[in-house]
């Protein structure tokens, strides 16, 4: 029997992961059912609606995969960069060369070119895109190569200096070439594993090797999305990173537990499948809202609305926070109370809005449809 060491890669039969297919089977079936359901709804949106949803999910992923690591990117810069590369209408933000461009390029390459072979060069290109030398400020990150021995031991720690807690210690730098070759060969191979399982194993395996000086988590999540996007029509319509951000403490706890145990990773795979399932449910809600929005606007096809009315109807469709009154309309649209009243009256006449039946001190308005 193989002995269990402190870290998973120290086990003699590493990286021969094991898991209980019987335990994971029902979760995989539930995921496959939900994937098919969401794809069916997505196709009802038409090509423009599909492109819009995929672009939104890519933006969410880029913003949240960075936020998981404590880096906040500007929403408008990310949206403009994604729109430019997907040839979609831009939010209108003037883009100069920023670090955002490299992050966007990395994720689009992972998702749009998901069926292309993974190579050492491709991973290191992503690494350079995450940390462009001229745009990286004062951060001393050496790109274009794996981490080197001066960084050993590469440790994941927390706590104050002098009282640090070591959560994980990565393999020595002189092992990286061998470990990465094994990983890349497995990643590119046609295996019998369900792609969800392969995505989860790829995530755990890459962050365990920890081949980069920085950015290992972000590259691992890109590789995860790359595996999940294989065989999916229209591209990634979900954002797993958004769900991971919501569950960040549990995410790190599950990784730590998997990296400091034996090679049976059933518990990690179970958590990963649950997290992915929750991200798909969020995507289902988003796609349903998009479909509802599309249907509502189609019913208004014969009506000419002014920009204020279009803005407020969209806010209502997307879920207005609180009750819509003439005062709120005037404040949001930066117009007079009289103008707000006229806008609302027109929409009532068009059967777009209606007065709420609920009693209260202030009259408020709802969508008619």
Extents of the domains making up the chain: 8-293, 301-367
User: How much is the pTM?
Assistant: 0.82
How far apart CA 335 and CA 338 sit, in angstroms, is 8
- Residue 136, pLDDT > 70, answer no
User: In DSSP terms, which residues pair with 264 in a beta bridge?
Assistant: 18
| pLDDT-derived band at 20, boundaries 50, 70, 90 | very high
Q: What is the pLDDT of residue 127?
A: 94
Q: What is the pLDDT of residue 143?
A: 77
- Domain 301-367 class in CATH: mainly alpha
DSSP string, 6-75: SSGGGSTTTT--B--HHHHHHHHHHHHHHHHHHHHHHHTTHHHHHHHHHHHHHHHHHHHHHHHTT-PPPH
30-87, pLDDT tens digit by residue?
999 998 899 888 888 888 888 888 899 999 999 999 999 989 998 888 988 998 888 8
Q: What is the pLDDT of residue 138?
A: 46
Mean pLDDT of the chain: 87
CB proximity list for 117: less than 8 A, separation 6 or greater: 188
Rounded mean pLDDT, 324-343:
93
| pLDDT-derived band at 139, boundaries 50, 70, 90 | low
- Residue 134, pLDDT > 60, answer no
Tokens of 180: 């990465």
220-274, pLDDT tens digit by residue?
999 999 999 987 776 788 999 999 999 999 999 999 999 998 999 999 999 999 9
Measured in Å, how far apart are the chain's first and last C-alpha atoms? 66
Asked if 260 and 168 touch (Cβ cutoff 8 Å), the reply is yes
- Comparing 316 with 278, the larger pLDDT belongs to 278
Helix (H, G, I), strand (E, B) or coil at 200: helix
CATH for 8-293, options being 2.130.10.10, 3.40.50.261, 1.10.150.120, 1.10.3290.10? 1.10.3290.10
Asked if 309 and 59 touch (Cβ cutoff 8 Å), the reply is no
Q: What is the pLDDT of residue 234?
A: 66
């Amino acid at each position: 029997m193989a002995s269990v060491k402190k870290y998973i890669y120290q086990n003699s039969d590493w990286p021969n992961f094991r898991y209980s297919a019987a335990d994971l089977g029902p979760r995989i079936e539930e995921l496959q059912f939900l994937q098919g359901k969401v794809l069916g709804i997505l196709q009802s949106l038409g090509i423009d609606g599909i492109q819009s949803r995929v672009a939104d999910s890519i933006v969410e992923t880029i913003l949240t995969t960075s936020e998981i690591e404590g880096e906040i990117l500007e929403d408008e810069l990310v949206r403009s960069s994604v729109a430019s590369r997907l040839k979609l209408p831009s939010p209108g933000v003037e883009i100069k060369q920023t670090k955002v461009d490299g992050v966007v390029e990395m994720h689009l390459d992972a998702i749009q070119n998901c069926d292309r072979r993974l190579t050492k060069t491709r991973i290191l290109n992503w690494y350079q895109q995450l940390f462009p030398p001229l745009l990286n400020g004062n951060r001393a990150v050496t790109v274009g190569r794996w981490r080197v021995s001066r960084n050993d031991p590469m440790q994941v720690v927390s706590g104050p200096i002098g009282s640090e807690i070591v959560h994980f210690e990565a393999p020595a730098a002189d092992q990286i070439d061998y470990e990465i070759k094994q990983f890349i060969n497995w990643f590119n191979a046609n295996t019998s594993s369900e792609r969800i399982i392969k995505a989860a194993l790829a995530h755990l395996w890459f962050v365990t090797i920890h081949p980069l000086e920085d950015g290992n988590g972000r590259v691992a999540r890109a590789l995860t999305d790359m595996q999940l996007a294989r065989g999916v029509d229209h591209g990634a319509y979900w954002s797993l990173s958004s769900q991971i951000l919501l569950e960040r403490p549990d995410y790190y706890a599950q990784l730590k537990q998997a990296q400091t145990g034996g090679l049976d990773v059933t518990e990690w795979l179970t958590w990963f499948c649950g997290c992915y399932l929750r991200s798909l449910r969020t995507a289902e809600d988003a796609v349903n809202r998009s479909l509802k929005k599309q249907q509502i606007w189609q019913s208004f096809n014969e009506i000419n609305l002014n920009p204020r009315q279009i803005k407020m109807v969209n806010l209502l469709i997307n879920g207005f926070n609180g009750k819509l009154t003439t005062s709120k309309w005037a404040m949001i649209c930066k117009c007079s109370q009289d103008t707000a009243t006229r806008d609302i009256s027109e929409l009532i006449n068009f059967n777009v809005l209606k007065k709420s039946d609920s009693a209260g001190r202030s009259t408020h308005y709802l969508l008619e449809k």
